[in-house]
Chains A and B, each alone.
Chain A
Amino acid sequence: MERRMRGRGVAASWYGIARTATIDRAGAWAELDDGGTAKIVTGVTEIGEGILTVLAQVAAEELGIRPEDVTIGDNDTARSPEAAHAGATRQTYMIGNSVALACRDARAKLDAVIAAHWGVEPGQIEAFNGEIWAEGTNLRMTMEEAVDLAKKRGVVPVGSGAFTAHGTGLDPVDGSGSPWQAYVFGCQVAEVEVDTVTGEVQVLGIWAVHDVGRAINPRGVEGQIEGGVVQGLGQALMEDYRLENGHTTTHGFAKYILPTALDMPQINTVIVEDPDPKSPLGAKGIGEPALVPTAPAIMNAIYDAVGVRITSLPATPEKVLAALAARAAAQQSVREGAQAAE
């Protein structure tokens, strides 16, 4: 066997969006504000996934303004409607759709005033990028002017929205039930190089293909996938929280090993869009599903490279070397057995 061996493996995955086996819900408030800007209030903030930017994009699209015109707050149980928790791959799905609905509510109030002003049907009113117009006419104004007009007519264009995802609990005996209304699917291919002298595994390439429903911000989706892949790689190859009689022996980053920039593979992401039919935006999610297939794809690639199957994570150099030695010993005994039989 050559010292450095390469191989590839594949793993698929699926995931449910939002809370499991229960009714999930979230609320939001929206106001088209002076200057053609907007306030969006919902009880959530950024945990790094980019939700505030996603919500600004959704609000901008629904209200007909620009993302930078949107002010988002307020992650506060005393000042904002319930958004519930930041987890379960539910932010874009639950909060995104609540914000879309709240914005539609606010826009309906504005559109009614503007349509009456122009003498057209509210259904003719369209808005994008800070401009509002009546379809099929040359009637047009800025959103700043439209909000000003509404207020002079005594209307403050505010709206609220709540979104519900209908999951059902599991039967306690056979587990039957409909835990989520939206599912996503994924598949990753890993290419690894195994050093048969040191046992070290390097992941050189990952092809990550994930259905996200509808990508609100493709670069943000890529970021989630890249982060998920590298977390999956860490779990596959190096991370290991150890305890001895209840005391950890891995109490810092010198002992608990994490992937660095030198460990990251080239990650080739392809986004697949199978829109969710049960929600206004059609988006589903990506936060958690991104890392589900990474570790098994890497284990399957190690097998392809050197013929050893690591079934106990992580595949540390020590474990890979022990498996290679066991495999060599087994092959040796097969050869001896064959010779003895001759």
Chain B
Amino acid sequence: MSDLALEMTVNGRRVKRTVPPHQRLIDVLRDDLNLTGTKEGCGAGECGTCSVFVDGKLVKSCLMPAAKANGARIETIEGLAAPGDLTPVQKAFHKTGASQCGYCIPGMVMAATAALRANPEADLEEIKERMGGNICRCTGYTKIIEAVELARDVIAGRISADAFAEDAAVGSFIGSNVRRLDAPSKVAGRLRYAGDMVMPGMLHMQVLRSPHAHARIVSIDTSAAEVLEGVACVITAADVPGKDGFGVFVHDQPVMARGKVRYVGEAVAAVAAEDVLTARRALAQIRVVYEELPALFDAGEARKPGAPVLHDYAPDNVVKHIPIRKGDVDRGFAEADIIIEQTYQTQQVEHAYLEPEAGLAYVDHDDVVTVISPSQNITHHRHMLAKIIDRPINKVRFIMSPVGGGFGGKEDMIYQGMLALAAMKSGRPVRLVFTREESIIVTAKRHPADITYRMGLKKDGRITAISFSLLSDGGAYGLSTEGVMRKSAILSLGPYDIPNLTIDTVGVYTNNTPSGAFRTFGAMQSQFATECHLDIAAERLGLDAFEIRRINMMRDGASTHTQQVLGSVSIGRVLDVAEQASRWEHGPVGMRGPQRSDLGGDDTRAPCTLGARFRDGVGKTRQEVA
């Protein structure tokens, strides 16, 4: 197919471009017009980060073929206000702290603008519904919705635009609601993330990934790919000049698969080419011969004798076992009036930051290998890459680009090594931007957990002993598993004074997607079990949920599960405040009966009901409390 001639009005200016027929509107905006405020979060119309106006209608630009925009009037985040100025919606986002990482924010601002253009008097329910097609992973939406309501009221003239001004600091800037300094650049779409950055002569990288969960690599033939026009270089594990291996704790993962693949999606080879399409075509020319190996998909199976071994250094497939012992559990259980046993399971969870992984690497004039990426740990990445490429540490430079959401998921050096190798081999800048599918398949997840819990208590609610064990599937590589097992164990039994305890957390290798760092680093999994278990115990003993926690909570000077003596312990104060703030109605768990006054207060939201807006018409979606 021949290229398309395209004429559009973009932010009030006429533009003419000739583009390849496969291009989407988002490609033209970002790549041809350099309007990178429009972000690509998923490429499938599911997240809303790429929202723009086409002839006044809110459209997800990743779903629109460029050809369909021919003759259209396009408005992007950059066109909402004059340079240096902000619209009321943008000012409101700044004021309320609606932007955190900022990656979803241009799309959110577009959706909010659309909502208020459609109905300047939109109420809370309608605003939420109209913003429902845009995902944010940082804010919990609260401050975003608050911003839209604030903008609505200022635009309608009900409140003064002074409401956008910063709260005055009284006597100190500590403790004052200083507006976020980075917010103007985020609400205006000006901030450039790694995937928005370009350099002259830049190449584009694509990665060949394993289709097998566990296989021996018999051979890799890159010759056909290397001779393809537009290909600058192809790299494999053979291009690593130094000691290959990275990981947050154990360096068990090669930059690209070395002899073996251990999970579906593992990098096997990479191509740097003049454009993404050429790089993808080159990937299709790489011939890899695999010999499939028996694979492990279950953490329990991994520990059985005779299980396939994933890493030679760990013949039992155990990444890390953390034991904690205190007191005498046998005596503790013997003293107990009741013993409660229960198992718990938590799942693997995707970080789902809106910014897919991206990076740009080059070798500078002083021969310094430089990688720009949203890495959460540039210090450690520099150490590891220096060994991998066998260069002195001051010849390796990491620059942390603005992170479009991390939550622990960007602590792993899973692609920066490939970028550095390609930049060294080609002598040119190289950029890699993951697709959403690639991000989901390749990167670490929250550790799943299988927990066995045994708790002994006296009739008065005092815990006499706990035995806790957690088994977790760490997946194909170690990443943060060791640290996650440690933190999970230390914090597992919660802020309670437990005289006798045994805690064991074990992370194992399997051929599943690796598990890694994720906000709470193992602590939510183990404390989830403890907090559910306390509720079961309270019900058995006829106690209130706050009461059983108060009976067992740590107090000032408490000795923790690892026998650390604490100073001030605020849990008592925190429980008191929570009980009061929530208007908690005292009563034994499971026995609070039908006569209650705590439910459905002004500090809760109305429930959504399916189809509400169709029954009552737009703008009248608030439902009666059931």
Contacts and interface: CB of A to CB of B under 8 A. Distances in A.
A85 interface: yes
A260 B573 CA distance: 33
Interface string A23-46: 000000000000000000001111
B174 interface: yes
Contacts of B524: 232, 235, 291-292, 295
A259 B407 CA distance: 16
Contacts of B491: 14-16
Contacts, number: 461
Contact of A50 (B144, B180, B346, B545): B180
B389 to A, nearest CB: 14
Interface stretch (A148-156, A247-255, A334-342): A247-255
Contacts of B608: 202, 262
Interface string A262-294: 101111101010100100010000011101110
A48 B324 contact: no
A2 B599 CA distance: 15
Given A57-B176, A75-B400, A191-B604, A12 B549 contact: yes
Contacts of A44: 400
A199 interface: no
B469 to A, nearest CB: 13
Contact of A187 (B214, B519, B578): B578
Nearest to B111: A261
A176 B560 CA distance: 9
B402 interface: yes
Contact of A77 (B382, B490, B589): B382
A256 B440 contact: yes
Contact of B486 (A7, A20, A60): A20
A218 B128 CA distance: 24
Size class of the A contact interface (CB-based, 8 Å): 35 or more
B599 A8 contact: yes
A13 B495 contact: yes
B546 interface: yes
Majority SS at the chain B contact face? loop
Interface string A198-232: 00001011010111001111111011011111111
Contacts of B592: 304
A12 B577 CA distance: 12
Contacts of B532: 296, 299-300, 309, 311
B180 A207 contact: no
Interface in B487-530: 487, 489-491, 494-495, 503, 511-513, 517, 519-521, 523-524, 527-528, 530
Contact of A223 (B100, B380, B585, B604): B100
B598 interface: yes
A207 B405 contact: no
Given A207-B603, A277-B567, 4 more contacts: A239-B349, A259-B141, A270-B577, A299-B528
Interface of A: 2-4, 6-16, 20-21, 43-50, 52-53, 56-58, 60-61, 66-68, 72, 75-78, 82-88, 128-129, 170, 172-179, 183-189, 191, 193, 202, 204-205, 207, 209-211, 214-220, 222-223, 225-232, 234-235, 239-241, 243, 245-248, 250-254, 256, 258-262, 264-268, 270, 272, 274, 277, 281, 287-289, 291-293, 295-297, 299-300, 303-304, 307, 309, 311-314
